[in-house]
Structure 1
Amino acid sequence: MDVTRRTLLRGLSAAPLAAAAGGLVLPSTARAAGSEAASEFRVSMREHPLEPTSYTYPSAIAGLANELAAAPLVQEVLRNADRKAVANPRWPAGTKPSRLAYSFGWDPDKNDGTTGQWYPQGVSSSYDAYHGPIPGTNTDAEKRAVLVSWYAKGAIWNRGARVTFVDVTVPSRPRYRHVLLVEPKKSAGEPYDFAPVGVHAGGIAWYGDRLYLADTRGGLRVFNVNQMFKVATPPKNWCGYRAMDNKYYAYDCQYVLPQSRAYDNAGAALIYSQVSVDHTTAQPSLLVSEFRRRGKCRVVRWYMNPQTSAITSEEAEGQRTFNRLKVQGAVSVDGRYYFSVSDGPNNRGSLYRSRRGRNTPMWHGYLSIGPEDLSYDGDRDGIWGLGEHPRKRHVYVVGR
Structure 2
Amino acid sequence: MLWPFGTTWRPVRQKRRDAIDLRWLTARSWTRRWYPQGVDLGVWHGRRTLAVSWFRQRLDGHHLASRVALVDLDRSRHLDVLLAVEEGGELQPAPIHAGGLAWFGDRLFVAATRDGIWEFDLARVRRIRGALARRLAGSTRCGPRVTALVAVRTRVHPVALRCSYIGRVFDTDGSPLPRVLIGEYRRDDSGRIGEFSLPEGDGGGFTEIERAAPGIPRMQGAVRWGERSFVSQSDLLRPGALWTGPLDGLKRSAVPLPVGCEDLALDLDAGYLWTLGEHPWKRVVRGIPLASLDL
Q: TM-score, normalization: structure 2?
A: 0.84
The aligned counterpart of 1:178 is: 80
Q: Distance in 2 between matches of 1:184 and 1:85?
A: 32
Deviation, 1:232, is 1.5
**Which string of whole-angstrom CA distances, capped at 9 and with x for unpartnered residues, describes residues 47-102 of structure 1?**
xxxxxxxxxxxxxxxxxxxxxxxxxxxx727x94431111118xxxxxxxxx9421
User: How far has the Cα of 1:374 moved from its partner?
Assistant: 0.2
Aligned mates of 2:151, 2:132 — CA distance in 1: 18
| Cα deviation, residue 239, structure 1 | 4.0
Q: 2:230 matched to 1:302? A: no
Partner of residue 395 from structure 1, selected from 280, 285, 291 = 285
How far apart are 1:185 and its partner, in Å? 2.1
C-alpha spacing 1:355/1:310, structure 2 compared with 1 (3 Å): farther
Structure 1 residues 372 and 310: alpha-carbon distance in aligned structure 2, compared to 1, 3 A threshold: farther
Of Structure 1 and Structure 2, the greater helix share is in 1
Q: 1:160 maps to what in 2?
A: 65
Q: 1:386 aligns with which of 261, 276, 280?
A: 276
- Structure 1: runs of 5 or more not aligned: 1-74, 90-98, 127-133, 187-191, 241-248
Q: Whole-Å Cα distance in 1 between the matches of residues 211 and 85 of structure 2?
A: 31
Backbone CA RMSD of aligned residues: 2.9
For each residue in 1:30-56, what CA deviation from the matched residue of structure 2 results, as whole angstroms up to 9, or x when unmatched? Answer: xxxxxxxxxxxxxxxxxxxxxxxxxxx
**Amino acid corresponding to residue 239 of structure 2 in structure 1:** R
Residue 275 (structure 1) aligned with residue 166 (structure 2): yes
- Matched AA of 2:197: Y
Deviation at 1:255, TM superposition (A): 1.0
Taking structure 1 as reference, are residues 200 and 208 closer, same or farther at Cα in structure 2, changes over 3 Å only? same
Q: 1:211 aligns with which of 93, 108, 115?
A: 108
| 1-structure distance, mates of 2:90, 2:280 | 33
Q: Name the amino acid aligned to 1:115.
A: T
The equivalences for 1:1-400 within 5 A come to: 76=4, 80-88=7-15, 100-107=18-25, 110-126=26-42, 134=43, 141=46, 143-155=47-59, 157-168=62-73, 170=74, 173-186=75-88, 192-233=89-130, 237-239=134-136, 254-265=148-159, 267=160, 270-280=161-171, 283-304=177-198, 314=207, 316=209, 318-345=210-237, 347-355=238-246, 358-400=248-290
Contact 2:86 2:153 (8 Å CA) reproduced? yes
Structure 1 stretches of 4+ moved >6 Å: 307-313
Q: Which runs of 5+ in 2 are unaligned?
A: 138-143, 291-295
Distance 1:284 1:309 in 2: 16
For residues 185 and 86 of structure 2, the distance between their equivalents in structure 1, rounded to whole angstroms, comes to 29
Q: 1:376 to 1:310 in 2, by over 3 A?
A: farther
User: CA shift at 1:335, angstroms?
Assistant: 1.1
Q: Distance in 1 between matches of 2:7 and 2:83?
A: 18
Residue by residue, what CA displacement relative to the aligned partner does 1:152-185 show, whole Å, maximum 9, x if unpaired?
A: 12248442211111111x2xx3111111111112
Deviation at 1:350, TM superposition (A): 1.1
Post-superposition offset of 1:314: 4.5
More relative contact order, 1 or 2 (CA 8 Å, 6+ apart): 1
How far, CA to CA, are the matches of 2:204 and 2:181 in structure 1? 11
SS at the partner of 2:97? coil
> Which amino acid is the alignment partner of residue 331 of structure 1?
V
Distance 1:212 1:274, change over 3 A: same
* Number of corresponding residues: 278
Counterpart Cα distance in 2 of 1:158 and 1:252: 21
CA distance in structure 2 between the partners assigned to 1:144 and 1:383 by the alignment: 15
Q: 2:188 and 2:224 mapped to 1: Cα distance?
A: 23
Which stretch of structure 1 is more off in the superposition, 255-264 or 278-287? Answer: 278-287
User: Normalization by structure 1: what TM-score?
Assistant: 0.63
What's the % identity of the aligned pairs?
28
- Quote the residue 2:140 is aligned against: none
Shift of 1:125: 0.6
Give the Cα–Cα distance (whole angstroms) in 2 for the partners of residues 371 and 214 of structure 1. 16
Structure whose alpha-carbon radius of gyration is higher? 1
Q: Measured at CA, do residues 86 and 323 of structure 1 come closer, stay the same or move farther in structure 2, by a change above 3 Å?
A: same
CA distance in 2, matches of 1:149, 1:238: 18
Call closer, same or farther: CA 1:254–1:326 in 2, change over 3 Å.
same
Taking the aligned partners of 1:209 and 1:228, their CA distance within structure 2 comes to: 10
Q: Is the 8 A contact 2:7 2:149 kept in 1?
A: no
User: In 1, distance between residues paired with 2:195 and 2:235?
Assistant: 26
